[in-house]
């Protein structure tokens, strides 16, 4: 009888979390919903991503991945924009990426997390990520601090919080290029070099075209096209330009 009660509690916990995340409005759940919440998923695509990464990056990515799952057992792994993401309650929570000489780790809702130093770090670094350039395990924050950040990110997802849209400052042109776009540019040096030399308005055309996509499938397709065109030194509206 004890085992039966324990099993029922195991299933009820994720069900309760889903009710909180949906504001208690969801009325019908399937068994798939319950089991999906009861256990996070480690997927082979992330295994492959880690194995493809440079030798220095593999233990870093493995450690970050393990800590996320230890703190958030319900986290689901997905590959988005070419690098691993961790979703929680069907919403993006955090991500990690490996580059030639460093790794990066990002929180999707960093702008509304408690620790504002995450944003300061991202703005002071030339690479994507909220933990700075992680070149070795020595560059990683303490496990206690990392766990606290992950729990904060989890809470925001449970509350259904969204990052407010950024409003441009008057008299200052500041273009917010998404992390996934930056990551894709870094992988293609020709595209990155051409994008960096574009004017503000031309960069904005690419960024808006990609970020305004209604679905993830469309966004990924536009991102792929953008990298291809940029590597060929083409502007966003090159098809309509007079030769």
What is the reported pLDDT for 212?
87
- Mutual angle of helices 143-158 and 57-71, in 10-degree steps: 50
What is the reported pLDDT for 137?
95
Mean of pLDDT values over 152-172: 79
Closest CA relative to residue 83, chosen from 226, 183, 176, 153? 183
What is the reported pLDDT for 22?
44
**What pTM value is reported for the model?**
0.59
Which residues, including other chains, have CB under 8 Å from residue 95's CB and lie 6 or more apart? 80, 83, 84, 85, 86, 105, 106, 108, 179
Which of 20-24, 25-29, 162-166, 205-209 is the least confident region?
25-29
**pLDDT tens string 103-120:** 999 999 988 999 988 877
Q: Where are the beta strands (DSSP E) in the chain?
A: 76-80, 83-88, 91-98, 103-107
CATH number 2.40.128.280 is the correct assignment for the domain at 44-158: no
Burial code (b: 16+ CB inside 10 Å, e: under 16) for 213-234 equals: eeeeeebbebbeebbebbbeee
Residue 228 has pLDDT above 80, yes or no: yes
Domain locations along the chain: 2-38, 44-158, 179-240
Whether the Cβ atoms of residue 77 and residue 61 lie closer than 8 Å to each other = no
């Amino acid at each position: 009888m004890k085992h039966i009660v324990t099993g029922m509690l195991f299933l009820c916990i994720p069900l309760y979390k889903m009710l909180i995340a949906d504001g208690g409005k969801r009325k019908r759940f399937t068994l798939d919903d319950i089991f999906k919440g009861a256990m996070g998923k480690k997927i082979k695509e992330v295994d492959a991503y880690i194995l493809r990464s440079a030798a220095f990056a593999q233990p870093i990515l493995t450690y970050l991945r393990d800590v996320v799952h230890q703190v958030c057992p319900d986290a689901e792994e997905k590959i988005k924009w070419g690098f691993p993401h961790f979703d929680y309650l069907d919403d993006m929570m955090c991500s990690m990426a490996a580059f030639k000489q460093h790794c990066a780790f990002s929180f999707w809702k960093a702008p509304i997390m408690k620790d504002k130093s995450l944003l300061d770090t991202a703005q002071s670094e030339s690479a994507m990520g909220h933990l700075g350039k992680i070149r070795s395990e020595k560059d990683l924050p303490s496990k206690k601090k990392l766990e606290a950040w992950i729990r904060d990110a989890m809470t925001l997802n449970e509350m259904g919080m969204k990052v407010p849209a950024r409003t441009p400052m008057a008299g200052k042109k500041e273009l917010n290029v998404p992390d996934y776009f930056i990551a894709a540019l870094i992988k293609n040096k020709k595209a990155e070099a051409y994008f960096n030399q574009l004017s503000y308005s031309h960069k904005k055309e690419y960024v808006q075209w990609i970020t305004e996509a209604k679905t993830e499938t469309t966004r990924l397709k536009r991102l792929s096209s953008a990298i291809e065109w940029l590597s060929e030194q083409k502007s966003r509206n090159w098809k309509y330009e007079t030769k």
